[in-house]
A = this chain, B = another copy of it.
Amino acid sequence: MTSFSMDNMAKGSKIASRVAAQLTTIEKNALLNAMADAIEAQADIIINENSKDIAAGEAKGLSAAMLDRLLLTPERVSDISNAIREITSLSDPVGDIANLSLRPNGMQVGKMRIPLGVIAMIYEARPNVTAEAAALCIKSGNAVILRGGSEAIHSNLALAQCLHDVLDSQDIDKNIVSVIPDTSREVIELLLKQRDSIDLVIPRGGEGLIRYVTENSQIPVIQHFKGVCHLFIDKYAALNKAIDILINGKTQRPSACNAIETLLVHQDIANEFLPLAAKALADAAQVKIHACDNSIKFFKNAEQASIEDYHAEYLAQEIAIKVVSSFDDAIKHINEYTSDHTEVIVSQDTSRAQKFIRQINSSVVMVNASSRFSDGGQLGLGSEIGISTSKLHAYGPMGLASLTTEKFVVLGDGQVRP
């Protein structure tokens, strides 16, 4: 490990990124299919390396949940290969020109999608991210540097070896995919300084990791701190839709960042809606309630909601509930507590739905639909490389197009500027 140089890896990635950018869609898909096959063919080796991570994790006292996320089985290895194969079916954004406009002097001007260059991913334990992130970066014509959690280092290096074997056999610069072998924290600091080589850093993990990367990076960072998603039941809501959307948003998968954390209810519908909500939340998952003064009476065993509850990302069967006096009051609450992830209004009134869409600038704004759809796959982007809750470059779930940018293309016939 002592011979590892972050500097050299970053420089190698930059050179390889020019190769990646020039691959055709056919070449990239062939590469991805070969990688998927190689991972399945070498499943034994990968699982054997994974068992070293599991043993180390057990020795280190990792939780059962962590160990389960880390574990690779033959089925899970096949899942990784299948996820890579699915990426071949996504349309390749590189080379797209949305529109060529004609300038008064006869020049044509358009914008063409091109890869960003080199993407660095910093993520926590799950080894499948290694293969899937590499596949998404390759499909979008980028080189990638992967820095997974130290707990998964053997698994990650084994997966990288598979990918390198395929690149080698096809005589393509293998630096298109790099896995950092050094598991120290210092190497992340060095990584975040490589702004001449790396174009974008995507951290995936807890809020601490993302803050650390944001504060220390000289390279642009995709930020996703947390999801405090709001559901606002307007006074013109259809009650059945409101209940369905509440129960789906809160209880279907509470550990997801697109689960509902705060329910806002218009006072004019509160007496009608809240008893139904109380029954549905109890029936569905015994959801723990933190309620405001005006709603607490509708719930059994509810706790008084505090300011902290309105900031909370519970990630559990737990919800904050507040009655708001008006539409504007709902907007004001959301603007104050938003994490810029996803907010939903349930209303049959088109003016109010439109106003909600205009006034809330979170990354995903929904009318009469479950927040659980706030996901790249569900929104039609195909696989998701991450989600951004900061507005620069990408905002919301990120698909392949978020790993590209646009350059100007000008087609002339000898024009000069007067």
Contacts and interface: CB of A to CB of B under 8 A. Distances in A.
Interface residues of A, number: 70
A107 interface: yes
A227 to B, nearest CB: 14
Contacts of A374: 408, 410
Q: Is the interface of A mostly helix, strand, loop or mixed?
A: mixed
Contact of A417 (B358, B373, B406): B373
Given A114-B361, A364-B407, A408-B397, A238 B414 contact: yes
Interface in A228-253: 238, 240-241, 244-245, 247-249, 252
A41 interface: no
Given A107-B373, A392-B393, A412 B335 contact: no
A208 interface: no
A369 interface: yes
Contacts of A373: 107, 410, 412, 415, 417
A330 interface: no
Interface in A363-388: 363-370, 372-374, 378-380
Interface in A348-364: 353, 357-359, 361-364
A247 B395 CA distance: 43
Nearest to A372: B417
A218 interface: yes
Contact of A414 (B240, B249, B405): B240
Contacts of A199: 390-392
A398 to B, nearest CB: 11
Contacts of A240: 414
Contacts of A12: none
Contacts of A220: 220, 390, 392-393
Contact of A359 (B22, B368, B393, B417): B22
Nearest to A353: B411
A322 B165 CA distance: 40
A115 B144 CA distance: 31
A117 interface: yes
| Residue from A195, A241, A369 whose CB has the most chain B CB atoms within 10 Å | A369
B414 A107 contact: no
Given A244-B416, A373-B415, A396-B408, 4 more contacts: A103-B378, A214-B218, A369-B412, A397-B408
6 contacts: A22-B358, A364-B408, A369-B413, A369-B416, A373-B417, A396-B407
